[in-house]
Amino acid sequence: MPYKYDVFISYKRGGTKERWVNENFLPLFKEYLGDSFAEAGLDDPRIFQDTSELVDGEDFTEALVSNVAQSKCMVAIISPPYLVRSKWCMYEFMSMRYREEALELELGPNRVPRSLIWPILLQEMDPYPPIIRSIQLANYTKYNVIGAGFLNSEDYVSFQRELRKDVKTVTNIVKNIPAWKREWDTSEWSEVVKQRLTDYFTAHTAPQQQLISW
C-alpha cells in the first residue's frame, strides 16, 4: 500500500489554538507547501487534518491510527495542552517518533530524514519537557495571535515570510521519505505506541490528570 497522505496535521483541538490553526496557519501552509512541492517537481500535497470530534476518554479509532500510519510526515503544533492533556495528540506524535527510531535502526541514520516531524512551538514552556528538548523547534510563539488586528500587523507579514521559508523543511522530508511499511498500520505497532504513551503520562502527569485507560 502506498502512502495516502504527505502531511498529517497534529494539533490540540478547542479554543484559540484551534482557531489559530484553521484561520492563520492552514490556509497559508497549504498554499506555500503547494508552491514548494511544485518547485521540487512533486505532485500537489495531500494533507490530512482530522476534524472529527475526538474525546480524550475514548479509545483510538482505527481510522486515526491508519491515517497516522499512512502519512509521510507530521506537522505538530505544540503547546502545553498538546503535551499534557491530550492522549490523541501524543499518540500521533509518539507513533511518528517510533517510526523514526525503527527506520533509523533498519536503514541507518544517513538513509532517512533527520526527522519525520516538523514541530511548531505555539506557546513557550519553561523548561521544555524532555520529550521535545532534543528536537529543533520552529518557534512561532510571537505569531500566536488571532483576529483582524494580527492580520493587519507587521508580525503577520513576518509570519508569512517565515512560513514560506519553513515549508521547505516539509518538502525535503517528503522528497527523501523511505518506502511505506505495512507494519506501521498493525495492532502490534499500535500497542507498542500505546504502552509508551501510558508510560509517558504516568511519569509526567499527576494521578488525577492521567487519561490513559485502554
Per residue in 15-41, is it b (16+ CB within 10 Å) or e — as a string?
eebeebbeebbbeebbebbbebbeeee
| pLDDT of the chain, 214 residues: tens digit per residue | 689 999 999 999 888 999 999 999 999 999 999 999 999 999 999 999 987 645 554 455 778 889 999 999 999 999 999 998 888 899 999 999 999 999 988 888 777 788 999 999 999 988 888 888 888 899 999 999 999 999 999 999 999 999 999 999 999 999 999 999 999 999 999 999 999 999 998 887 654 344 443 3
Q: How far is residue 166 CA from its own chain's centroid? A: 15
Q: Copy the grid coordinates of residue 20.
A: 489559530
Q: Is 46 contained in some domain?
A: yes
Q: Is 200 contained in some domain?
A: no
The tally of domains found in the chain comes to 1
Q: What angle do CA 110, 43, 18 make, to 5 degrees?
A: 85
Q: Is 172 contained in some domain?
A: yes
**Closest Cα partner for 123 from 80, 74, 89?**
80
Q: Is 152 contained in some domain?
A: yes
Q: Is 201 contained in some domain?
A: no
- Give φ, ψ of 118 to 5 degrees: -100, 105
User: What's the domain range around 160?
Assistant: 5-188
What are the beta bridge partners of residue 151? none
Q: Residue 108 is part of a domain; what is its CATH number?
A: 3.40.50.10140
Please name the residue that has the C-alpha cell 506537522: 75
Q: Copy the grid coordinates of residue 126.
A: 519553561
- Give φ, ψ of 59 to 5 degrees: -75, 165
Do the Cβ atoms of 29 and 162 come closer than 8 Å? no
